[in-house]
Structure 1
Amino acid sequence: MASHELDDTDHQLLRLLQADGRRTFSEMAPEVGLSVAAVKRRVDRMRESGVIKGFTVQVDHAKLGRGIEAFTELRFAGTTSVGDILASASRAPEVQAVFTIAGDLDALVHMRVRDIAHLQEVIDRLRGSGKVIGTRTLMVLGSWTRDD
């Protein structure tokens, strides 16, 4: 299903589910002006086509003791494969995401840690892989995310 095949009602259902993935079909039906069965069919169709990839929980990382968020830019040796880049960075449980990128850098690693000492420990582990030849870390002071 291509995005141009989604109508305004589909987009409205997506916004409702993004705001609360536990929202029931019967809760959404009156908000979009459809029957419960019609809402279920539309959501099922979007799941089957891959538009909806899954349902998640939003976590308050600070309450889990990982209140510091950072991005570390990684430079690897020229012979390092993308698979090796992903594997070496994703081994650390503190790593939330790894983005391989074009340009001077090879990867951007998003991580969450307890404190500055913990951040240094994670960076040291990344550097210790033997393939990382340079890093630069950026601390997150605040953030905003688009819901859709």
Structure 2
Amino acid sequence: MPDLDDTDRTILRLLVEDGRRPYSEIADVVDLSPPAVSDRVSRLRDWGIVRRFTADVDRSKLRDGVSVLATLDLEPNAVETTRAALVGDEAVEHVFTTAEGSLVVTLRVPDNDVRNYLAETIDFGAVRSLDVSLLTASSWSPGIGAAEFAPECAECGNTVTAEGDTLTLGEDTYHFCCSSCAGRFEKRYEELEAGT
């Protein structure tokens, strides 16, 4: 099973700071060649740790409404559908699901009317309570720390440790917590491929 080392973590930190940082600059920091850095970034993408490189737009520099933090206490059966509706909305910047089943959302509301805006976006009948706070500033600083590679098992959902297995089937890579899960998944995959 693959695992992250200190070089991988440093590469991740540098990419989080600037996703367009040249590999040659990263190579100087981690004492590798640019092709070796490229290989490591490709491996991190294959593992699903690096999903994409995106622009980090500072929306505070754009005039497009008021920035708010909204906490929605929802009926338990409405959390996922509400989350999906919010994730797909252009005004929404972040959606967090708490262990209690609430959604915490940062968004920019064009008309400064949060309640009506949300009522147009989600099923307001499922909202038990809504708390809205005006945001004056925000920052995002994801830390890598001593993170370890810990994907979810594609078969059972358990966390994959260093003893787990990895399979590439078709063009996709899957991670498993044990060889039993890998075997069951591969057998089902092959049956589906064969049409049986």
- TM-score tier, shorter chain, comes to 0.7 to 0.9
Q: Partners in 1 of 2:84 and 2:49 — Cα distance?
A: 27
Q: 1:40 to 1:77 in 2, by over 3 A?
A: closer
**CA shift at 1:113, angstroms?**
2.9
Using structure 2 for the length normalisation, give the TM-score. 0.60
Q: What does residue range 42-57 of structure 1 map to in structure 2 within 5 Å?
A: 42-57=40-55
Unaligned runs of 5+ in 1: none
**Count of aligned positions:** 143
Identity of aligned residues (%): 34
- Which of structure 1's runs of 4+ aligned residues deviate more than 4 A? none
Q: Indicate the residue corresponding to 1:110 in structure 2.
A: 106
Residues 37-116 of structure 1: matches in 2 within 5 Å?
37-66=35-64, 68-77=66-75, 80-90=77-87, 92-103=89-100, 106-114=102-110
TM-score (norm 1): 0.76
1:81 counterpart SS class: helix
Q: Which has the higher contact order (CA 8 A, sep 6+)?
A: 1
1:144 to 2:139 alignment: yes
5+ residue gaps, structure 2: 144-196
- Secondary structure at the counterpart of residue 130 of structure 1: helix
Residue 131 in 1 paired to residue 126 in 2? yes
Alpha carbons 1:29, 1:39 under 8 Å: kept: yes
CA RMSD of aligned residues (A): 2.7
Is residue 68–residue 132 contact of structure 2 (8 Å, CA) maintained in 1?
yes
